[in-house]
Structure 1
Amino acid sequence: MSEGHEPDRTPGGTPGTPPNLRTTEVDLGGLVSVLATHLYSTPLVALRELVQNAHDSHTRRRLEDPDGAAGHTPEIRVRAGARSVAIEDTGAGLTEPEIHAYLATVGTGYTRLLREVTGSEELIGAFGLGFLSAFSVADEVTVTTTSHREPAQGHRYRSRGGEQYSVEPVAPRRTPGTVVELALKAEHAHLADEQALREVLGRYCVLLSVPVYVGDDEKPVNAIPVPWREPVPTTGLYAARMDFAAAFGRRFAPLTAFPLNPADEGADSVGLLWVQDGGTYGSSDNRDLAVYLRGMLLADDARDLLPSWAGFIGGVVESNRLTPTASREDLQRDEHYRALQQELTDAIVNGLYETARLYPSAWRRILARHGQDLLGAALCDDRLFTLLADDVPVPTSQGDLTAGALRAAGNGAVHVALGSGGGFEEMLYRAMQVPIARGDRYAVLPFLRRYAQLRDCRIVELGAESGNRELFRDPETPLPAEEEAWLAAALAEEGEQLVPARFDPPGLPLVLVPDREAELKARIEDDAADARIPSAALRLARAFTARTDGTVKARLYLNTASPAVRDLLAAYRSGHTGSATAAGLLRSLKVIMAAAAGSAGGDLAAALAGVGTAVAALTAPSDALSVGFGTLFASDEPGLDERGEGGR
Structure 2
Amino acid sequence: MSEGHRPDPAPVEDLRTTEVDLGGLVSVLATHLYSTPLVALRELVQNAHDSHTRRRLEDPDGGHTPLIRVRGDAARRTVGIEDTGAGLTEPEIHAYLATVGTGYTRLLREVTGNDELIGAFGLGFLSAFSIADEVTVTTTSHREPGLGHRYRSRGGEQYSVEPVAARATPGSAVELTLKTEHAHLADEHALREVLTRYCVLLPIPVFVGDDERPVNDVPVPWRGPAEGDRHEARMRFAAAFGRRFEPLTAFPLTPAGADTDAVGLLWVQDGGTYGSSDNRDLAVYLRGMLLSDDARDLLPGWAGFIGGVVESNLLTPTASREDLQRDGHYRALQRALTDAIVDGLYETARLRPAAWRRILARHGQDLLGAALCDDRLFTLLADDVPVPTSQGDLTAGALRAAGGGAVHIALGSGGGFEEMLYRAMRVPIARGDRYAVLPFLRRYAQLRDCRIVELGSADGNRELFRDPERPLPAEESAWLAAALADEGEQLVPARFEPPGLPLVLVPDREAELKARIEDDRADARIPSAALRLARAFTARTDGEVRARLYLNLAAPAVQDLLAAYRTGHTGAATAAGLLRSLKVIMAAAAGPSAGSPAGDLTAALAGIGTAVSALTAALPPGLPTVPDTLPDGPPDTLPDGPPDTRSDGADTGPEQGAGA
**SS at 1:67 equivalent:** coil
Candidates 143, 152, 169, aligned match of 2:163: 169
Determine the C-alpha separation between the residues in 2 that align with 1:571 and 1:535.
55
**Distance change >3 Å, CA 629–CA 107, structure 1 → 2:** farther
Q: Which residue of 2 aligns with 1:227?
A: 221
Q: Which residue of 2 aligns with 1:87?
A: 81
**Distance change >3 Å, CA 37–CA 199, structure 1 → 2:** same
1:359 matched to 2:345? The reply is no
Q: Which moved more, 1:564-573 or 1:423-432?
A: 423-432
Aligned 8 A contact 1:577 1:626 in 2:
no
- Superposed, which structure 2 residues align to 1:256-267 within 5 Å? 256-267=249-260
Aligned-partner residue type, residue 601 of structure 1: A
1:618 matched to 2:634? The reply is no
**SS at 1:113 equivalent:** helix
Aligned 8 A contact 2:259 2:328 in 1:
no
- Superposed, which structure 2 residues align to 1:134-533 within 5 Å? 134-233=128-227, 235-533=228-526
Q: Which residue of 2 aligns with 1:121?
A: 115
Determine the C-alpha separation between the residues in 1 that align with 2:561 and 2:301.
57
Determine the C-alpha separation between the residues in 1 that align with 2:642 and 2:250.
72
Aligned 8 A contact 2:86 2:142 in 1:
yes
Determine the C-alpha separation between the residues in 1 that align with 2:628 and 2:464.
35
Determine the C-alpha separation between the residues in 2 that align with 1:18 and 1:162.
38
Determine the C-alpha separation between the residues in 2 that align with 1:91 and 1:628.
107
Determine the C-alpha separation between the residues in 2 that align with 1:99 and 1:387.
60
Deviation, 1:426, is 1.8
Aligned-partner residue type, residue 215 of structure 2: V
Determine the C-alpha separation between the residues in 2 that align with 1:459 and 1:628.
53
Deviation, 1:580, is 0.5
Determine the C-alpha separation between the residues in 2 that align with 1:17 and 1:189.
59
Q: Which moved more, 1:306-315 or 1:598-607?
A: 598-607
**SS at 1:273 equivalent:** strand
Aligned 8 A contact 1:122 1:294 in 2:
yes
1:37 matched to 2:31? The reply is yes
Q: Which residue of 1 aligns with 2:652?
A: none
**Distance change >3 Å, CA 630–CA 447, structure 1 → 2:** farther
Q: Which residue of 1 aligns with 2:647?
A: none
Aligned 8 A contact 1:617 1:629 in 2:
no
Aligned 8 A contact 1:491 1:639 in 2:
no
In percent, how many aligned pairs have the same letter?
83
Deviation, 1:631, is 4.1
Determine the C-alpha separation between the residues in 2 that align with 1:630 and 1:492.
26
Determine the C-alpha separation between the residues in 2 that align with 1:163 and 1:258.
49
Aligned 8 A contact 1:616 1:628 in 2:
no
Q: Which moved more, 1:426-435 or 1:326-335?
A: 426-435
Aligned 8 A contact 1:489 1:639 in 2:
no
**SS at 2:300 equivalent:** coil
Deviation, 1:35, is 0.2
| Cα RMSD after superposing both structures | 2.2
Deviation, 1:608, is 1.3
**SS at 1:539 equivalent:** helix
Q: Which moved more, 1:321-330 or 1:594-603?
A: 594-603
Aligned-partner residue type, residue 616 of structure 2: T
Determine the C-alpha separation between the residues in 1 that align with 2:550 and 2:483.
14
Q: Which residue of 1 aligns with 2:67?
A: 75
1:103 matched to 2:100? The reply is no
Aligned-partner residue type, residue 488 of structure 1: A
Q: Which residue of 2 aligns with 1:574?
A: 567
Determine the C-alpha separation between the residues in 2 that align with 1:515 and 1:529.
19
**Distance change >3 Å, CA 549–CA 639, structure 1 → 2:** farther
Q: What runs of 5+ residues in structure 2 fail to find an aligned partner?
A: 644-660
Residue correspondences, number: 632
Determine the C-alpha separation between the residues in 2 that align with 1:88 and 1:17.
56
Determine the C-alpha separation between the residues in 1 that align with 2:610 and 2:92.
102
**SS at 1:66 equivalent:** coil
Aligned 8 A contact 1:581 1:629 in 2:
no
Determine the C-alpha separation between the residues in 2 that align with 1:185 and 1:558.
80
Deviation, 1:611, is 1.2
Q: Which residue of 1 aligns with 2:657?
A: none
Deviation, 1:637, is 6.6
Aligned 8 A contact 1:159 1:165 in 2:
yes
Aligned-partner residue type, residue 501 of structure 2: L
Aligned-partner residue type, residue 359 of structure 2: I
Deviation, 1:404, is 0.9
Aligned 8 A contact 1:629 1:642 in 2:
no
Aligned 8 A contact 2:568 2:641 in 1:
no
**SS at 1:558 equivalent:** strand
Determine the C-alpha separation between the residues in 2 that align with 1:27 and 1:6.
42
Determine the C-alpha separation between the residues in 2 that align with 1:156 and 1:622.
114
Aligned 8 A contact 2:280 2:306 in 1:
yes
Deviation, 1:636, is 5.8
Deviation, 1:604, is 1.4
**Distance change >3 Å, CA 628–CA 39, structure 1 → 2:** farther
**Distance change >3 Å, CA 372–CA 629, structure 1 → 2:** farther
**Distance change >3 Å, CA 415–CA 372, structure 1 → 2:** same
Aligned 8 A contact 1:617 1:628 in 2:
no
Determine the C-alpha separation between the residues in 1 that align with 2:393 and 2:633.
46
Candidates 604, 615, 638, aligned match of 1:640: 638
Aligned-partner residue type, residue 444 of structure 1: V
**Distance change >3 Å, CA 151–CA 116, structure 1 → 2:** same
**Distance change >3 Å, CA 284–CA 17, structure 1 → 2:** farther
Determine the C-alpha separation between the residues in 1 that align with 2:128 and 2:277.
37
Aligned-partner residue type, residue 278 of structure 2: D
Deviation, 1:18, is 3.7
TM-score using structure 2 length: 0.93
Deviation, 1:429, is 0.8
**Distance change >3 Å, CA 479–CA 126, structure 1 → 2:** same
Deviation per residue, 1:392-423 (Å, 9 max, x gap): 11111111111111111111111111113434
Determine the C-alpha separation between the residues in 2 that align with 1:423 and 1:281.
23
Aligned 8 A contact 1:142 1:159 in 2:
yes
**SS at 2:454 equivalent:** strand
Deviation per residue, 1:131-167 (Å, 9 max, x gap): 0000000000001111000000000000000000000
**Distance change >3 Å, CA 503–CA 65, structure 1 → 2:** same
Determine the C-alpha separation between the residues in 2 that align with 1:96 and 1:59.
20
Aligned 8 A contact 2:259 2:332 in 1:
no
Candidates 39, 48, 55, aligned match of 2:49: 55
**Distance change >3 Å, CA 637–CA 300, structure 1 → 2:** farther
Deviation per residue, 1:194-241 (Å, 9 max, x gap): 1111111001000000000100001111011001112113x5111111
Determine the C-alpha separation between the residues in 1 that align with 2:68 and 2:288.
15
